[in-house]
Structure 1
């Protein structure tokens, strides 16, 4: 595992805190472990080993490192989070974490002011809690937004909980939820991929349809109007791009999505990458000519990658990454 960037809270896990690291450095503290997955949050980091163990480091003021206390200090070297089961995935929000195991169990810990842990109350948790409301389901993926969480089950049902003032949960109202709530509009459509942004959510169904909902102040939902999306609505991705403000050409099937704080990304079955939302700092990878208030209101293909097959995509607060086939 290599880490770099801001390190004021030890989120690089190098054994020290302070100035950031501009060059990737190998982490010496996990040398004996084979890391298979990593996740980065606002001020903390998590890594999963091939044995299904979770190691975390960084800020712990809300118990987000899951080590059993709320010490305001930092953890500068990776520490194992004790979870019963083989962890296969982890996601980090502003100050909370979600993890799911190979047998479909969902665990959460950290800040819980808005109910983003899904355990039925608003109290922060300093150690992993099983989300018992979903114990009859098998969780296969999850995503932590700024203050909300979304979960996909093996049956393809989508659940949301936590902050909902901007309709992030897609349930039709703006009341926070402390327990997982099924997203009724997508019930029965079999969700296969999900992403949680700052205050918006994206999902892909089995037939390749892309749905978005939540805050839309910078067109992060991929819709021309700027009103928030109270429930999931379909966003077309087409081969012909946008002409006269309309998507034209053949409909493309989405396979995966990523959400930053104010922008969104989607990969289609043919390996194309689409981007929309706030385009300041070059986060979309497309020219932002004519974009209202520095935003693209509809999905635009990232033309600089048109001859590449995109395999994986990730979105940070205002930057993006893509892995393409060699």
Structure 2
């Protein structure tokens, strides 16, 4: 655990050389978006039990898909633009810096910012004040090509995994400055989806700031794009090869006995990557991280010398031989028990610089562990009882210690809700500095609310983060989420 006493380094979800700018501000005009993005990952999207999508928060490029560019601090459903009085039904979705992808059966939808062509829509501006869509648009090049099994929205690029003639294939589009689309150079921007050559049957894709991952049905992982911190999985730092413009296999670690581990989930955010790896001999799953980890988002705890090791990939490679599992605060490895047969899907969900993990506990209920940055209380693990409101009165519910945690620790703020539930937490989601968890078919959130991404208006005389889990709808009795 670290206490921050000085100026905090802001790392864009993607690249250290750029600065993340976020905060309260006026919304953009009705029909013209800002010509340069300076707010990122400051909205929220969740999926209800009917697989309909809801959104709230920053809307400068139409990320909320409500037909306007006005920011909204209340969750509202997203409508299907092709069917009157019908909500947008999705089998899955992914939230990028300022754009969203969703899919259902053979259709891929995209909306939000189209800078660098990340929406994949022919004829739509890719720069300037009109480079956006504030309603969902079908991506025609890849819709009706085959069954869509996954999408991934990165900082400025997009990915989709689609089964064509019985084999899962990867399609990429958008910004390719760092080879993150996966089709090589010299093209630095793909306005339309293009097939990326990944060996095997792809079942999942993940997109970080400037890098990409793909997982195949046999549990292998491939990475490409920006690799300065090893986030693409190529930790050959000695050769200083910072860009891999086409997919390469990620050398996943084996078990102590030499048995190959099988990847069951991949995730990427900013300049780091995560994978859930299953030991086929025990059916246990462990989380492995690689890439940039200065704020503890790799969850590596401490090494044998007692020094923090959640740092850059160079240190991870030199000191730890590339890949190591996420550790709990007591030094033991965070484990997913009965990974393939558990009553809930155990998973990881990375935000900008923090990570949530949904773990099946010994009580048979889902619990949340978290690690990484906690500047906005997004880990859900601590408060400062000495913090006061602007008027000087005690405010333990809104207090915040600015720190990060290199090890996985249970999100204690959820314990009351878990205790009163049947299954505990059944899903988790993170974006930017905000966290979400689903309990009793209701979504709850905590952390950054600077743009209303928790569905609450921000009073002018209080902090812009929330440390208690709140229902994403003002009145959860209105229906299950």
Coarse TM-score class (shorter-chain normalised)? 0.7 to 0.9
| In the alignment, structure 1 residue 210 sits paired with structure 2 residue 368 | yes
- 1:309 CA displacement: 3.4
- 1:303 CA displacement: 4.2
C-alpha distance in structure 2 between counterparts of 1:293 and 1:59, whole Å: 35
| Correspondence list, 1:212-291, <5 A | 212-223=370-381, 224=383, 225-236=401-412, 238=414, 253-268=424-439, 270-286=440-456
- 1:27 CA displacement: 2.1
Number of the residue aligned with 1:131: 250
8 Å CA contact 2:413–2:468 kept in 1: the answer is no
C-alpha distance in structure 1 between counterparts of 2:460 and 2:111, whole Å: 35
- 1:233 CA displacement: 0.7
Secondary structure in structure 2 of the residue aligned to 1:209:
strand
CA, structure 1 residues 305+47, in 2 after alignment: closer, same or farther (shift >3 Å)? farther
CA, structure 1 residues 144+216, in 2 after alignment: closer, same or farther (shift >3 Å)? same
Count of aligned pairs between the two proteins:
303
Q: Which has the higher mean CA deviation after the structures are superposed, 47-56 or 208-217?
A: 47-56
Number of the residue aligned with 1:144: 268
- 1:14 CA displacement: 1.5
C-alpha distance in structure 1 between counterparts of 2:213 and 2:171, whole Å: 13
- 1:237 CA displacement: 5.4
| In the alignment, structure 1 residue 162 sits paired with structure 2 residue 309 | no
8 Å CA contact 2:434–2:448 kept in 1: the answer is yes
Q: Deviations over 1:30-86 (max 9, x none)?
A: 244133322111111111113311111001000001112254x31011101111111
Question: RMSD between aligned alpha carbons?
Answer: 2.5
Number of the residue aligned with 1:316: none
C-alpha distance in structure 2 between counterparts of 1:87 and 1:131, whole Å: 14
8 Å CA contact 1:92–1:144 kept in 2: the answer is yes
- 1:115 CA displacement: 1.3
Q: Deviations over 1:224-264 (max 9, x none)?
A: 233211211111355866xxxxx985696222211111111
TM-score normalized by the length of structure 2: 0.59
Number of the residue aligned with 1:244: none
TM-score normalized by the length of structure 1: 0.85
- Considering only CA atoms, is the larger Rg found in Structure 1 or Structure 2? 2
Q: Deviations over 1:258-290 (max 9, x none)?
A: 11111111112x212110111011111245569
C-alpha distance in structure 2 between counterparts of 1:284 and 1:165, whole Å: 27
Bigger RCO (CA 8 Å, 6+ sep): 2
8 Å CA contact 1:238–1:249 kept in 2: the answer is no
8 Å CA contact 1:236–1:251 kept in 2: the answer is no
Q: Which has the higher mean CA deviation after the structures are superposed, 134-143 or 31-40?
A: 31-40
8 Å CA contact 1:216–1:227 kept in 2: the answer is yes
| Correspondence list, 1:29-68, <5 A | 29-34=141-146, 35-51=148-164, 52-68=168-184
Q: Structure 2 unaligned segments of length 5 or more: list them.
A: 1-107, 255-259, 279-283, 302-307, 340-345, 384-400
8 Å CA contact 2:120–2:192 kept in 1: the answer is yes
| Correspondence list, 1:65-214, <5 A | 65-69=181-185, 71=187, 73-122=188-237, 123-134=242-253, 136-154=260-278, 155-172=284-301, 173=308, 174-177=310-313, 179-185=322-328, 186-190=333-337, 192-207=346-361, 208-214=366-372
Q: Which has the higher mean CA deviation after the structures are superposed, 50-59 or 286-295?
A: 286-295
- 1:118 CA displacement: 2.2
CA, structure 1 residues 290+213, in 2 after alignment: closer, same or farther (shift >3 Å)? farther
